[in-house]
């Protein structure tokens, strides 16, 4: 985001904190500092030029609104077509539950701008092949359809198929562009809980080791001097009999980063046989869960904190290894 974007008090001309939604439109009251030349009924081109000069919204969003007739001034208010209909009723996933298999996921947070869904382990975020069903993206579309929201819902980040936890979705173009920008600027913080084999000698620290592909195994990654920078921070929360509960945060988001790094230091995640952990009779995937998601709200700019409860399998596995979680 450029300076000022997302902060409600950044632009005295626009009373952003008093904005209200009316169907497809976002209505923003104007203050007395608006130029007199911008009277009600001003040509949308002049409104666009003024908004571009203010630089409070992304240029591409302002230009898109102008191109579809989504900008106007009326009665001391700025009207922005921020919530256009997406035509979800025509979506390929709009079929009945019999075809979908009842694909659902719990909603952890939702407002007009974004949606956070609790992805269970074993569910892909998005299709990896044509015609694939049962993804979190499908669950998000079905949620919008079931609640009467015709929104172009799109995921902002991903989790590995076998990792559970919160996934953030944008519900309109402005939210998507701002949240995509926050991802690029590393302003979205994802915290994880992992159960690792053994107890790390150091109670906390940073694993700074580049990660690249494993040329001997198509689905594996490995620490490699020629790989991409990867930085993982961890803190041991509870030490058990033969395992530990660790809290993990990432500076980077490489494929399998947490799994590779803990295997690299000799403590692979429980159940992660791909990276050297013994098999767990009650678990068919690695013991990794997204605990918390913190992101700048695409409209207010304020940090939004969304927690995600521990799944039953995680708590049960913890207890079997002498780790008591709340």
Residue that is last in its domain, among 184, 217, 250: 184
Indicate whether 71 and 163 sit together in one domain: no
Residue 12 banded pLDDT, cuts 50, 70, 90: low
Q: Tell me, what's the pLDDT at 326?
A: 65
What is the C-alpha separation between 307 and 291, in angstroms, rounded?
6
Question: Burial code of 207-242, b = ≥16 C-beta within 10 A, e = fewer?
Answer: bebbbbeeeeeeebbbbbeebeebbbebebebbbee
CATH number, position 311? 3.30.2350.10
Indicate whether 165 and 213 sit together in one domain: no
Q: Look at residue 142 and tell me if it is in a domain.
A: yes
**3-class SS of residue 14:** strand
Instruction: For tokens 């919008």, name the residue.
Output: 144
Is it the case that residue 36 has pLDDT exceeding 80? no
Pick the residue with more confidence: 130 or 147?
147
Verify whether residue 214 is a known catalytic residue. Answer: no
Q: Look at residue 149 and tell me if it is in a domain.
A: yes
Indicate whether 24 and 127 sit together in one domain: no
Indicate whether 104 and 59 sit together in one domain: no
Indicate whether 315 and 194 sit together in one domain: yes
Q: What value does the mean pLDDT take over residues 163-168?
A: 97
Residue from 74, 111, 160, 241 carrying the catalytic annotation: 160
Question: Burial code of 259-270, b = ≥16 C-beta within 10 A, e = fewer?
Answer: bbbbbbbebbbb
| C-alpha pair distances (Å), 201 with each of 100, 243, 267 | 47, 12, 10
Q: Look at residue 129 and tell me if it is in a domain.
A: yes
Residue that is last in its domain, among 138, 157, 184: 184
Indicate whether 94 and 71 sit together in one domain: no
Indicate whether 111 and 200 sit together in one domain: no
Q: Look at residue 56 and tell me if it is in a domain.
A: yes
Q: Look at residue 33 and tell me if it is in a domain.
A: yes
Residue that is last in its domain, among 80, 106, 131: 80
pLDDT tens digits for range 235-289? 999 999 899 999 999 999 899 999 999 999 999 999 999 999 999 888 989 999 9
Q: What value does the mean pLDDT take over residues 218-245?
A: 94
pLDDT tens digits for range 86-104? 999 888 888 665 455 578 8
Domain count along the chain = 3
Q: Residue 59's domain spans which residues?
A: 16-80
- Beta-carbon contacts of residue 160 (< 8 Å; ≥ 6 apart): 255, 256, 288
Q: What value does the mean pLDDT take over residues 101-127?
A: 93
- C-alpha closest to that of 192 among 248, 238, 231, 232: 248
Task: Determine phi and psi for 313, rounding to 5 degrees.
Answer: -65, -35
pLDDT tens digits for range 180-213? 999 999 999 999 999 999 999 999 999 999 999 9
Indicate whether 54 and 136 sit together in one domain: no
Asked whether 125 and 159 are in contact (CB, 8 A), the reply is yes
Q: Look at residue 193 and tell me if it is in a domain.
A: yes
Asked whether 230 and 224 are in contact (CB, 8 A), the reply is no
Pairing mode, strands 303-307 and 231-239:
unpaired
Q: Tell me, what's the pLDDT at 241?
A: 86
Q: Tell me, what's the pLDDT at 43?
A: 84
- Beta-carbon contacts of residue 89 (< 8 Å; ≥ 6 apart): 145, 150
Q: Look at residue 2 and tell me if it is in a domain.
A: no
Indicate whether 208 and 313 sit together in one domain: yes
Is it the case that residue 74 has pLDDT exceeding 50? yes
**3-class SS of residue 318:** helix
Indicate whether 55 and 119 sit together in one domain: no
Is it the case that residue 1 has pLDDT exceeding 60? no
Q: Tell me, what's the pLDDT at 75?
A: 75
Indicate whether 54 and 124 sit together in one domain: no
Indicate whether 208 and 240 sit together in one domain: yes
Q: Tell me, what's the pLDDT at 92?
A: 82
Q: Look at residue 4 and tell me if it is in a domain.
A: no
């Amino acid at each position: 985001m450029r300076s000022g974007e997302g902060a409600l008090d950044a632009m005295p001309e626009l009373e952003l904190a008093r904005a209200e939604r009316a169907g497809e439109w976002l209505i923003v009251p104007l203050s007395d500092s608006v130029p007199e030349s911008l009277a009600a009924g001003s040509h949308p081109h002049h409104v666009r030029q003024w908004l571009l000069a203010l630089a409070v919204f992304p240029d591409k969003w302002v230009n898109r609104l102008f191109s579809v007739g989504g900008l106007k001034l009326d009665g001391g208010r700025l009207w922005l077509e921020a919530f256009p209909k997406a035509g979800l009723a025509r979506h390929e996933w709009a079929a009945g539950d019999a075809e979908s298999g009842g694909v659902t996921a719990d909603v952890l947070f939702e407002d007009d701008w974004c949606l956070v869904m609790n992805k269970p382990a074993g569910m892909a975020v998005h299709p990896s092949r044509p015609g694939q069903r049962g993804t979190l993206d499908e669950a998000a579309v079905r949620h919008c359809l079931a609640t009467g929201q015709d929104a172009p819902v799109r995921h902002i980040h991903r989790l590995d198929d076998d990792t559970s936890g919160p996934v953030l979705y944008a519900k309109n173009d402005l939210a998507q562009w701002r949240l995509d920008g926050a991802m690029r600027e590393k302003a979205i913080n994802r915290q994880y809980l992992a159960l690792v084999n053994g107890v790390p000698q150091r109670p906390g620290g940073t694993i700074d080791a580049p990660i690249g592909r494993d040329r001997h195994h198509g689905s594996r990654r490995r620490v490699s001097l020629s790989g991409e920078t990867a930085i993982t921070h961890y803190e041991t929360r509870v030490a058990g009999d033969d395992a530990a509960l660790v809290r993990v945060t990432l500076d980077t988001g490489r494929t399998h980063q947490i799994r590779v790094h803990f295997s690299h230091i000799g403590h692979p995640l429980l159940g992660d046989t791909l990276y050297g952990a013994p098999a767990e009779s009650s678990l068919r995937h690695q013991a990794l869960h997204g605990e918390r998601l913190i992101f700048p709200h695409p409209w207010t700019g304020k940090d939004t904190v969304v927690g995600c409860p521990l799944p039953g399998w995680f708590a049960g596995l913890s207890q079997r290894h002498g780790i008591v979680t709340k």
